[in-house]
Structure formats: structure tokens, C-alpha cells
With several copies, the nearest count.
Chain A
Amino acid sequence: MNKNFTLLIGGIQGEGVVSTGISLMKALSRRGYYTLSERKFSSRIKGGNTHVAITIAKKEEVNSVESCYDMIMAMDQDSIHLNMHQLKPKGILLYDEDIKIDEEWTDGLRSIALPLSAIAKKHGKLFMKNTSVIGCLGKVTGFTYEVLQEMVTEAYGNKGEEVLDQNIAVLKTAFNHASTTISRASFFDSEPAQAKKKMMMIGNEAIAIGAVVAGCRFMAGYPITPASDVMENLALIFPLVGGKTVQTEDEVAAIAMTIGASHAGVRSMTATSGPGMTLMGEGLGLAGMTETPIVVVDAQRAGPSTGMPTKMEQSDLSFLYHGGHGEYAAIILSPSTLQECYEMTVDAFNLADRYQCPVIIMTDLNLSLSAKTIDEISFSEPVIDRGQLASTEILESSYDGGFTRYQLTENGISARAIPGTKGGQHQVTGLEHNELGRPSDHPENRKAMMDKRMKKTDPLKEREGIILEGKASGSTLFLTFGSLYGTLKEAWMRTGKNVDLARIGRIKPLPVKQLETLMDQYEKIIVVECNYHGQLANIINQETGQPQKVKSITRYDGKGFSIEEMMEIMDRWCQEWK
């Protein structure tokens, strides 16, 4: 029997395709299944085709959405046209009977026409087609009618009685119709063991939760796909804990406001994607120079310029690594899973306060937006490390106006004084400055201050930042990051190849020491990433200087790799280097 089941739901954008998928995923997860979805959509509101693929499993979290489907539920023609070639030989196509079918597409495949639109129109309105879909898919996936009705009531309970009634009528009719025409898919014959408590969320949501847990209480941002949900979620959560979001006039203002708030003592963040990130270069430099801790999320999409706002890419990396004009210390974290989105965000705030510099959490579109069932992230009180703050003794002992905010210390870190703290008044400036924070361009001071700022984060180079899986086989290591990790892992589990697997969680400062060890240990390191230049590979080469050890595999067409492609890559590169 299959390990998992993959369902594709497709239709016109705006028809509720995504929300239908999410409802189904939630209901399945409640029954104990694990799910993971991937959306394909375009940067338009309505009218274009959109589809969501959902992989469902019983035993453990899904690493990657399959590229071959067990079932397609098509609400429009394009969904068939675009996806039929990915239907498994034994797969089933369900489709609205209103769709004109080209025999060629379905030749030799099982396909069942369903009166999705007809039922919706008859018992409600045409746009309730997605409720017909739920009725039919509910049957296929083995729900009782009662559970489905609960789902629909949950979704439409607050839309008025008429709407709810009509939806229920549509649901019932569709469910009954399905009962007579389609049977439950065998995958759903046995139920999963209801072992663990679960959650469902997207990467942006995990980041928002992590931020609140870390004590973040301020976010300034400007909407942009695929980062907006971070602010949307904080706008919902902050009222519960006493925090504030501000939608600013642009990204330049968003990061400047974040800096102001953080300077005044609140843990603060902003979130954006490529085009906004470029505009935030100014603020990154200011935070770097003034040593103000801030957290910035970059949910990468395909660039350059406006690029492809709804497509996957990991091409901001070089830019984030090499910063804006001039040089300053910064930290770049790269989560690969929802759990890491959560944990690294908590970490990010501690690192920002500890090292007094900008911390960038770099994700990618698939990680940011894909809904996934995970085992519950249970509560554990986070360590909140606000870093060095000036003690009252120090402030009282320094002469009036003599607080040395930028004191030259062994490790480069100096104590902050938060506005409102008596005796801590000082100057902050984006100009080069002396220990008091006053402008100074004396060469010795400049050198000392540059060294101070740069050396702050140097110790991190010695610390691990790459997470390995495998048996330390010693031949080949596949290294990746972000949403590609799940796919790589799945491919690795399937090939059973004698290679190892790693994801990089901290890109800056690069874990140079660990990398060097790995280079001693492995014959080859194969870096897989979604961009043109092989940006991570380039950075590794630059910092470790062993390019002969590193092979770069890239893709830059807006799609991630499929499991099969990853398997093929593994195969090929194990061959070529034997």
C-alpha cells in the first residue's frame, strides 16, 4: 500500500480552491493524518488557474509534496490540462461535469464527472461549488457526513443563516451523490494512530508565533507577497499580549521605525520580500552602524525587480550576505522547517540583543506559504536574553553625559542604555563615532570601531550552524536550505544512497570551522539551491577556499525541485564522482 496519498485541487483563482484545501487538511489532521500542501498561483486576484497539491500521510510529518497525484479534483478545465500528466497511472480524475473534456487527456485513465456546479446552483449559488467539492472529497477521504457538516458550519456560521443553509444543502446533496458514484480511496481505509497532538500552520505563522514568544512586541511593515502574513498574524496576536503593528508608508520607513522602537527598548521586527528588502538596505546599514538590534524577515520570491511574486526562489542570499554599501556585522538565519521557523525566530531576538546587530531570518516562498501538519510545538518558557544593558552603578558612576555606549571591549559588545534610563543619555549616529557615540573620523578611532563591530559576531564562525543527518558516510554530503530541505530529505530516504544530508541554519557568520571539518570528512559537498549563480556555494567557496570540494546544483525557473528530480540528482552525482 502507498505510504501516502496526494490530492490536487484546482480551479479558477477566487473560487475558494485554497480554503477548500485548508479545510480538508485541517479535518484530516484532526483525524490523525499529517498533511503538507503546496500552492501554485499567480500574482493576480481572480481568473487565473490556481491549484493546491496536498500530500497526506499517516505515520510522520510529510517532507515534501509529491509531484505525482493519486487524485485530481478539477473545478476548471485548466486544472485538468495542466496536471493530468502528473496523475499516477492508477490515479483518478474527478471533475465538474460542466468542463469540456479532451479525450486525449484522460485516455486510459479513470475519470469521473461530478455535477459540482449543478448541485451548487440548484441548492445555493454557483460560487458554492467549493462546498460541492468538500462533499465529494469528504466521501473519498472517508469522512462521515456529520464531520463535514461541522466543517461547513465552522466556515460559514458567521455568514448569515441563508448562506449557511444553502451551503449545507449543497454539501448534503454532493455527499449523497458521491456516495453513489465514487468510493472511498483505499488509503483512507485504515485510520492513522492518533498518537500526538498536532498543529497546522504556514512558515510565516510559525515566525509570528516565535516572535511573540520571544517577546517581540512591535512590528512595522509594508505588505508584500509572500511576507504579509507575518504582519497579518501579529496584528491578530498582539492585542492578546500588548503589542503593536504599524503598516507604514513604505519599507524604508518600516525598517527605520523598527530601529526607533528597538532603540527605545522593545523587541521589534519587520518582514518583507525581495523588492522591499532592497529598500531596507538603508536601514540594515543604520542598524549595523548604530548597533541597534533588529530582526528582519526576508521571505524570498523570484527576482530581480518585481520578478515573479508568486514563485519560489532563493536568490536574495548574496545580497543579504554582502549587505548594502560599506561593511557591518549581521546575522543570517535560514530555517528549513516550520519548527525551525519558530525556534530560529526566538533565537533571532536573542542574537540581535546579544550581538546588537540586525538579524535576518531568510525563508523562501514555499516555506513561507505552505500549510503543513506538524506535531504540536509545546510550550517551554523561552530564554529571553536582552544582552548587555548598562547597570545603574555604571550609569551613576559615569560623569554627566559620559556614558560610553560604544565602549571598546574585548569582545566588541558594549552595554546599551535604553531611553528613559537615568544617566544613560548618549548619542547615536550613523556616522562613524567614538565611545561616547559622538561623530569622529580619526583614523585610529575608525579602525578600533570597525574592529569592534566586526569582531562581535566572529565567535559564531566557530560555532556549528549546519545540521547533519545520516551516517557520516564520508563520501558525499548534500547541503541545502529552506524549503528544499524537505524534498532533499525525502529523496534521500527513498534512494537509500550511501550519502549524507545537511541543511544550513546559519549562513552568516558562516560556520567556517564546521565547514572545514566537513570538507576534511567528505570527499564532496553538493550544494543544492534555487538561484542562478549558486549563491550559497559561492559564499562557501569564498570563505573556505576549497572550490574543488564543492559542486553547485541550481534551478531558477520559479519551481522548486521535485522529489524525483532530487533523486535523480543524487543518483547522477554519486555516479559521476565515483
Chain B
Amino acid sequence: MEMKDYGNGLNPTWCKGCGHFSILRSLQTTASRMNIPREMLAVVSGIGCSGRISGYMNAYSFHSVHGRSLPVAQGIKLANPDLIVVAAGGDGDGFAIGTSHTVHAIRRNMDITYIVMNNQVYGLTKGHVSPVSHQGFKTKTTPMGSVDMPLEPGLLALASGASFYAQGFSAQQEELIELIQNAIEHPGFSLVQVFSPCVTYNKVNTYQWFREHLKSADEVRKADPSDYLGSMQLLKETEGLCTGVIYQNRTKLSYEELHQEVKEKNLATQDLRMTEAVYQQITERFKL
């Protein structure tokens, strides 16, 4: 399949220059390179400009509600582990209303890839502060500039037990494609946080700004990506502003490996007919 076969012909409603375009293209390109059958690809998203991404894929796409892409995605994966499940959404979606789901999805470590399309602002609601907006950031709800400390997605992911954490940048598409491919191939939960500038409501963290501030993780790091504390240190030292695979733990067992029953029986395709013998077995406890 070509990259274009993963599109559905709709023109994204995003502003010209929005970082989200590149993420969509990267996902489509990755799918094409990995030759994922389109019917085996499930793309789940939340609400936000970012959330529209699922609607541009030729795949089984589910545009859920604000903050809930991960619970829906986990339900899909649990039902049918043969599907390749990709969840995607904005920084508000994943680190404000969806924080709890993000933490617990990471902890469960199902074989799902989660792409956070981070523009450090609420794009769809026309410019409101996000939990990852930098201090001083002026928005409609912070007219005097935000004073709260931003959350650090990388630290949070690692603390929640992430087995794969990477960061990409919309303007570095080739790297982003590789990161997404690594993430999908990683057998467990993988989070790819993408710096994806909002050209309309974030006039601070622009493409230019990221070009000036982003470092390559591989160049800066002192330890191997499998070194937990080393990766924490990398994030601390770069203030989170680096791209590449930040952390990968290849030994941590995925949900599917821990819960063998999920792997063995595809719930979605199993035969539901019940024999009398099984009925007797399940009602045994209640018989007298």
C-alpha cells in the first residue's frame, strides 16, 4: 500500500502550516512502510484539532470524546489483539482531562502506540493554556501570562512505568516516521510525544523556536536508552527539549505477555455458542 492509500481523501480542516499535518503524513507513511493492512489498523483519537487525525485515515478510526482515546483504544486492543492500535490526541487531551488514563494506560503496557500531538495550547477552543504551556504564556484564560509550572510529559511517562518513550518534531518528518515505526514495533505501550506547533495560537513555541531549542537525544545522552535514571537525567538536562528515543525497556513484559489469556483467545472472533457442559460448569457454584 502507498502512503496515499491510508488517506481517505478528506482535506484536513487544520490551519495552513499546522504541525499536525506532518504527524498525519508520518503515520500514513509508517503504515505504508510497514505495509499494515488497512482493516487491521485502528486509529483512535480524542477531541481537539489533533483529534481530527483519525478522521483522515483510511482505517478503522474512532474519534472518541475529549481525553478518552486511551480507554477506547485499550478496549479495542483487548477485544482483538491482532489489530494494530494507534491512539492520538492533543496535549490537553492527554495531559489535562486525560491524565489519569494516560498514566494507567502506560502502567498497563498494552501493545498500543500513543501519539501526543503537543502544541502546548488548546487549539480547537481557540487558544487556552494547557498543562504543558510554558510559564508566562499568554492565552485567553491567562491574559497576564500563565504562572504555573508545566507538566513534563517525559518524566510523567517514565514515572508511570513507560516501556517506550520517544519525542519527535513535526518539522523533522523522517525522524518522526522512524520513531512511530519503532513505537509500533515495540511490544508494549509506546508513547511518542511530538512537538507540533500551532501556528495560530502559539506564537512562542514556533517552528523556529523549536529549531533553536531542540537537541538530538542521541547526541546529548550520557547513558543508553535502557537506562532509566539516565533517561530521566537526559530529560531534566534538556528541559525536555530533545528528540529521539528517550527510553526503551525491552525486558518489561507487555500486557499481552502477562495476560496470556488475551493472546490466546481473540475475544472478537471467538465462537459464542455455549454448550450445555460449559453452562453446567459455570453454574456449578450456584447449584445446591
List the interface of chain A (C-beta within 8 A of B).
14, 26, 29-30, 42-48, 197-201, 205, 209, 212-213, 215, 217-218, 220-225, 228, 231-232, 235-237, 239-254, 256-268, 275, 282, 286, 290, 305-306, 373, 376-377, 379, 381-382, 384, 400-401, 418-431, 438-439
Give B contacts to A, CB under 8 Å.
Answer: 5, 8-11, 13-16, 37-40, 42, 44, 47, 49, 52, 54-55, 58-68, 71-80, 82-83, 96-97, 99-101, 103-104, 122-126, 128-129, 131, 140-144, 200, 259, 261-262, 264-265, 267-270, 272-274, 276, 278-283, 285-288
Complexed CA–CA distance, A425 and B57 (Å): 9
A424 touches B39 (CB 8 A): yes
- Across the interface, do A213 and B100 meet the contact criterion of CB distance under 8 Å? no
In-complex Cβ contact of B282 among A197, A212, A248, A251 (8 A): A212
14 new A-B contacts, CB < 8 A, other than A246-B78, A420-B82, are: A45-B123, A47-B11, A223-B141, A228-B140, A232-B141, A250-B100, A260-B62, A263-B76, A264-B268, A266-B268, A377-B283, A425-B60, A427-B54, A431-B63
Contact B261 A242 (CB under 8 A): yes
Question: What 10 A-B pairs are tightest by C-beta distance, nearest first?
Answer: A260-B75, A215-B272, A265-B268, A256-B71, A264-B79, A44-B13, A429-B63, A260-B72, A261-B75, A242-B265
**13 A-B pairs (CB sep. < 8 Å):** A218-B78, A218-B79, A228-B126, A228-B140, A232-B140, A242-B267, A242-B270, A249-B96, A257-B72, A261-B78, A264-B76, A275-B66, A381-B273
Asked if residues A253 and B104 are in contact (CB atoms below 8 Å), the reply is yes
Q: Are the CB atoms of A243 and B76 closer together than 8 Å?
A: no
- Residues from chain B with Cβ under 8 Å of A400 in the complex: 5, 58
Distance A419 CA – B44 CA, assembled complex (angstroms): 12
Q: By the criterion CB–CB under 8 Å, are A237 and B282 in contact?
A: yes
**Nearest neighbor of B11 in chain A, beta-carbon distance:** A47
Whether B39 contacts A259 by the Cβ 8 Å rule is no
- Tell me, rounded to whole Å, the shortest Cβ–Cβ distance linking A396 to chain B: 12
In the bound complex, residues from chain A placing their C-beta under 8 Å from that of B38 are: 425
Contact A200 B288 (CB under 8 A): yes
Beta-carbon nearest neighbor of A265 in chain B: B268
A266 to B267, CA, bound (A): 6
- State the main secondary structure of chain A at its contact with B: mixed
Contact between B75 and A48 (Cβ–Cβ < 8 Å)? no
- Is there contact, CB below 8 Å, between A264 and B283? no
- Give complex CA distance A422, B59 in Å: 10
User: A263-B62, A420-B80, A423-B39 known; A247 and B128 CB under 8 Å?
Assistant: yes
Complex CA gap A43/B274 in Å reads 38
Residues on A with C-beta less than 8 A from B125 are 223-225, 228
Closest Cβ of chain A to B152, distance in Å, is 15
Instruction: Point out the residues of chain A lying under 8 angstroms from B103, CB to CB.
Output: 249
Report which of B9, B59, B97, B124 forms a contact with A250, defined as CB distance below 8 A.
Answer: B97
Max chain B Cβ within 10 angstroms of own Cβ: one of A382, A401, A421, A425: A425
Interface hub of B5, B11, B265, B288 (most chain A Cβ within 10 A): B288
Q: Is the CB of B141 within 8 A of A256?
A: no
Q: Which residues of B lie under 8 Å from residue A220 when comparing CB positions?
A: 71, 75
The complex places the Cα of A306 from the Cα of B37 at a distance, in Å, of 30
Q: Judging by beta carbons under 8 Å apart, are A426 and B143 in contact?
A: no
Chain B residues in 8 Å Cβ range of A254: 71
Chain A residues lying within 8 Å of B76, measured Cβ to Cβ, are 260-261, 263-264, 419
Least CB distance from A306 to B in Å reads 6
B-chain residues with CB within 8 Å of residue A259 when the two chains form the complex: 64, 72, 75
CB distance A205 to B75 under 8 Å?
A: no
Bound-state Cα–Cα, A279 to B239, Å: 34
Given A232-B140, A401-B9, CB of A419 within 8 Å of CB of B39: yes
Cβ-defined contact, A438 with B10, below 8 A: yes
Neighbouring B residues of A282 by C-beta, 8 Å:
65, 68
Known: A243-B267, A261-B267. Is A248-B71 also a contact (CB below 8 A)? yes
